[in-house]
Amino acid sequence: MKKVFKIGYNLILAVLFLFLLVVAGTFLPIPGNYKIFTVQSGSMEPKVPMGSLIFVKSAPEYGVGDVITIKAGRNTVTHRVVEKKGSGGEATYRTKGDANEEADPEETSGQNVVGKTIFNLPYVGYPIGYARTKTGFILLVIIPATIIIYEELYKIKEEITKKWRSRREKKEKQAAPENVEDRIRIIEEESLGAGLHAEAPGTKDHPQAPSEQFVRRSPGRDDQNQIKRRKII
């Protein structure tokens, strides 16, 4: 049971760590000139569902059929290239959403193209988008991160305590007698010392018993002669 709990905990930790990396990737540049976006509309369904998380990489130029992300004011739009004019940095592109009936009214210059969609993760963009809000950041990032940090610090504390106890027990074991014979010798020495300090019988604290105070003896020959003399007199 403990092993299953540990595996589950490690999986949750890995998912949360990956989630934090993805959230950070929506704000910070990613090595390899990649960028991460979330799809806010269903104009590219079913190929790119609404709420998908897309990974975009820039290229020198793009061809017809490529799904590209272009700047549209403060926002971005991800559509498919249906027409291309020119080449290189001077190329212009006309785009269209797969779910739209008509192409976009304006052409896009290569300077406004962020990059080409390399792959997408359907519906993963929903929690990522929510995590970018103030409330979502607290619930999905701050609180889980705090719990994990607390758990890791607790594990470190337990490990330090365990090592400290092990060292203390080792020192106590080294200070104690190494074998049974040494222990018996110590006990005998302590018992002998206690016997030397004990008071002998007949002292104030140990009065003599009546058997120790008087010694009976049977009548001897002198005593019998003395009794006979008394009778004659």
Mean pLDDT by 10 residues, the chain (233 residues): 74 76 70 83 89 88 91 88 85 92 89 90 84 84 85 88 85 64 67 58 51 48 52 47
Q: Which pLDDT score, from 0 to 100, does residue 32 have?
A: 73
Q: Which pLDDT score, from 0 to 100, does residue 116 have?
A: 92
Q: Which pLDDT score, from 0 to 100, does residue 199 have?
A: 52
Q: Which pLDDT score, from 0 to 100, does residue 213 have?
A: 47
Q: Which pLDDT score, from 0 to 100, does residue 232 have?
A: 47
Q: Which pLDDT score, from 0 to 100, does residue 3 have?
A: 75
**pTM of the predicted model, to two decimals?**
0.55
pLDDT tens figures, 25-70: 666 667 777 888 888 888 998 888 898 889 999 888 899 999 999 9
Question: Domain extents for the chain?
Answer: 30-123
Name the fold adopted by 30-123. Answer: Umud Fragment, subunit A (2.10.109)
CA pair distance 22, 14, nearest whole angstrom: 12
